[in-house]
Structure 1
Amino acid sequence: MSEDKPKKNTNPFTILKDDSTDGHGGYGVGAISLENMSPVIVDPNEDRAFVDMGAMHARSEIERRVKILPNKDEVPNGKLYWIVWVTVEKSENGPFYAGVCGSEIRVDRSIKRAYKSMPEHVTHMDKSLKGKIMLEHMDDHSKKLLKDFLVDFNEEMWNNSSRELKEVLPK
């Protein structure tokens, strides 16, 4: 087996799933569905962005083996990362990135500690599900990484997305 072959993109990005509340009237009707949401980790330190579904349960690659603290002062040398909550919806033109909200996380592996504001993450997840764009607080380099990832992942979805998203992310 040759190691020169390009690695196939096996990204577990949650695009669209069936609606669990499609009229069956059973358990869970009216509950909020996270099926169309995917967490994208933006790592400006390593110039990369990737989907990590573990972030849905605070178990992403960057959150493992560290204790999460609610006070940023306790992680003064933490490396900056963003967990960007991306919700995909479908319109007459096809699927698009509907809600995109970035949440800060700082990780210091040397002391096995990380800062993360759980209320902020929950709020951003909720806003993303409601189709909001909240990225103004992110640095330009991280926003460029996010934009490149979204375009590379599915250019059609990017093209179908709102003008607001395209204006918030750098050209």
Structure 2
Amino acid sequence: MEENKKKPIGFNIIKKEDPMKGHGGYGAGVLSLDNISPVIIDVEAGVAEVDVGAMHARSAVEKGIKFLQNRDEVPNGKPYWLVWVTIDRAEEGPYYAGVTACEMTVDREIRRGYKSLPEHVNRMDKSLKRHIIVDHMDEKAKLILASFLQNHNKGMWDLASEKLKQDLSV
């Protein structure tokens, strides 16, 4: 006998400019991901790039990798950082409002990696809430991220908070 179970109502993720314009009923208070971007930092290669696949844990780095919760099970993992960058607009113009970083390692040879999915989700949430959490990054990763943000849009870097600039200085 089949049970008729209703799906629980969670939250909707709508990706458009103003998802609830003039509407306060069902779905009000949705989470908009329009202004957040995932940046992947390859520490060894010294590069950072936006990879929208990371929004669903499907970045080029993550594809084909089984992630484990124990860092010790991936002793030869190559270091990466997933950085959630949220953009906001002030009177002067757009700026980097929320920037949070999460560590992960990947060993392509054994197709295994380490990351904490709850940390990645929580840091994305913190970035959306305009927090800056980058002070735990290693110095090389900080330099790569600071350079990437400055070169991506100097105006947004100039308008960013002093905390972001200070936390990324080495």
TM-score over 0.5 for the alignment? yes
1:87: how far off? 0.5
CA distance in 2, matches of 1:163, 1:21: 33
The offset of 1:27, in angstroms, is 5.0
Gaps of 5+ in 2: 1-15
Secondary structure of the residue aligned to 1:99 is: strand
Name the % identity.
55
Q: Compare CA radii of gyration and give the structure with the larger one.
A: 2
- Residue 77 of structure 1 aligns to a residue whose secondary structure is coil
- Corresponding residue for residue 122 of structure 1: 121
SS of alignment partner, residue 82 of structure 2: strand
Q: Partners of 1:167 and 1:83 in 2: how far apart? A: 20
Describe the shift of the 1:53–1:26 C-alpha distance in structure 2 as closer, same or farther (beyond 3 A): farther
State the SS of the aligned residue for 1:111: coil
1:74 maps onto 2:70 in alignment: no
Separation (CA, whole Å) in 2 of partners of 1:100 and 1:44: 17
2:108 match: 109
- The size of the alignment, in residue pairs, is 156
- Compute the RMSD of aligned alpha carbons: 1.5
Pairwise CA distance, 1:22? 2.6
* 1:110-146 per-position Cα deviation (integer Å, ceiling 9, x unaligned): 1000111011101100110000000111001101100
What do the CA deviations read for 1:50-94 (whole angstroms, capped 9, x no partner)? 000000000001101111111111111101100000000111111
- Using structure 1 for the length normalisation, give the TM-score: 0.87
After TM superposition, the score normalised by the length of structure 2 is 0.87
The whole-number CA distance in structure 1 between the counterparts of 2:92 and 2:26 is 32
2: CA distance, partners of 1:160 / 1:148: 15
> Equivalent residue for 2:161?
162
Determine whether 1:91 maps to 2:114. Answer: no
* CA distance in 1: counterparts of 2:126 and 2:153, whole angstroms: 22
Is 1:55 the counterpart of 2:54? The answer is yes
Displacement, 1:20? 1.6
- 2:29 and 2:109 map into 1 onto residues whose CA distance is 44
